[in-house]
Amino acid sequence: MQPVFEKIRSYGIVPVAVIHDPVNAVPLARALVDAGLPCVEVTFRTEAAAASIAAMVKAFPAMDVGAGTVLTVEQARQAADAGASFIVSPGFNRTIVDHCLASGLPVLPGVATPSDVEAAMESGLTAVKFFPAEAQGGVGFLKALSAPYGKMMFVPTGGITAENLLAYLRLPTVLACGGSWMVQAELIAAQRFDEIRRLTEAALMSMFGFELRHVGINGSSEEEAQSWAAQFSEMFSMPVKSGTTSVFVGSGFEFTKRKFPGGHGHLAVATNFPFRARAFLERRGYAFNPETASEKNGQLLSVYLQQEIGGFAIHLLQA
């Protein structure tokens, strides 16, 4: 898979923006970057698309700026000349796909049927856009469509909202979701970039679903962990469950039988997508201890941050 699509997978969300005036391009990009989502698809529905892409790429070189609604090879060339890092088309246009592949330009053509998917596979693609997602049948249709094509990844776009985002992202064949609800054309035209940042941050937090799962207290032996757990259980009438490395009291308190990361213990924070949450926090400057990472079938299940808060390590884990 193309590196830019691996990055898009880590983002989880691709804002799809319609820009009518290039003067709004850089402030929009800044709002997205500041929110923690350095990615956008600028559609070629307006004459301002190429200039907007060029302005964004110049102002934020590390941002992944794609060109959407590309209907002709000429538009693909304009997008590439402007610095677009990927091309998106609403349908499977073989001429555009062949041009992009020959040019080394990552492309996400739109698909809506098994025949479309197989055409994409014949071209050697491993990622496509599923469009129009909701009108085509939504999550149920995409689940059925993707079943025979286990190696194909999809970017559903069209009708994606904050309310149905998670339903799509939980499908294992979904690379990311494209959506415009956080970058509505009206907000861009009105230069309401603070609101765009707020909506983008809200979308990310909805995707991650961060919540405190339990508090871990470092013990030094099984006897100590069992003793502390028994005291806590007697105090609050919570059930005790002993495991290999720790003793839980209820579901929210863990007493470890040996020292785990953290001076005093750890705070376990659950998230819907640990690998996306890790990438998001790394973009914000936080570091992780790779030796603590736990995976299953290539998917990150849990990992500790290097930073501590109040003597407690932060343990990120699968919700």
Q: Looking at the annotation, which residues are catalytic? A: 41, 129
Angle, helix 49-59 to helix 25-35, in steps of 10 degrees: 50
Report the interhelical angle of 274-283 vs 3-11 (nearest 10°). Answer: 100
Q: Which helix (H) or strand (E) holds 16?
A: strand 13-17
Query: Which of the 8 DSSP states describes residue 111?
Result: E
44: tokens are 């070629």
Sign, CA dihedral 29-32-33-34, equals: positive
- Contact 108/154 with Cβ under 8 angstroms? no
Q: In the block, which residue shows the tokens 């907000």?
A: 187
- Residue written as token pair 């005291």: 231
Chain Cα centroid distance, residue 160: 14
Distance from C-alpha of 117 to C-alpha of 142, rounded to nearest angstrom: 11
Sheet (strand 265-271) strand order? 240-242, 246-249, 253-256, 211-217, 265-271, 312-318, 299-309, 288-296
Q: Rounded to whole angstroms, how far apart are CA atoms 314 and 287?
A: 11
Nearest to 200 by CA among 77, 22, 34, 54: 34
The answer to whether 255 and 265 have CB atoms below 8 angstroms apart is no
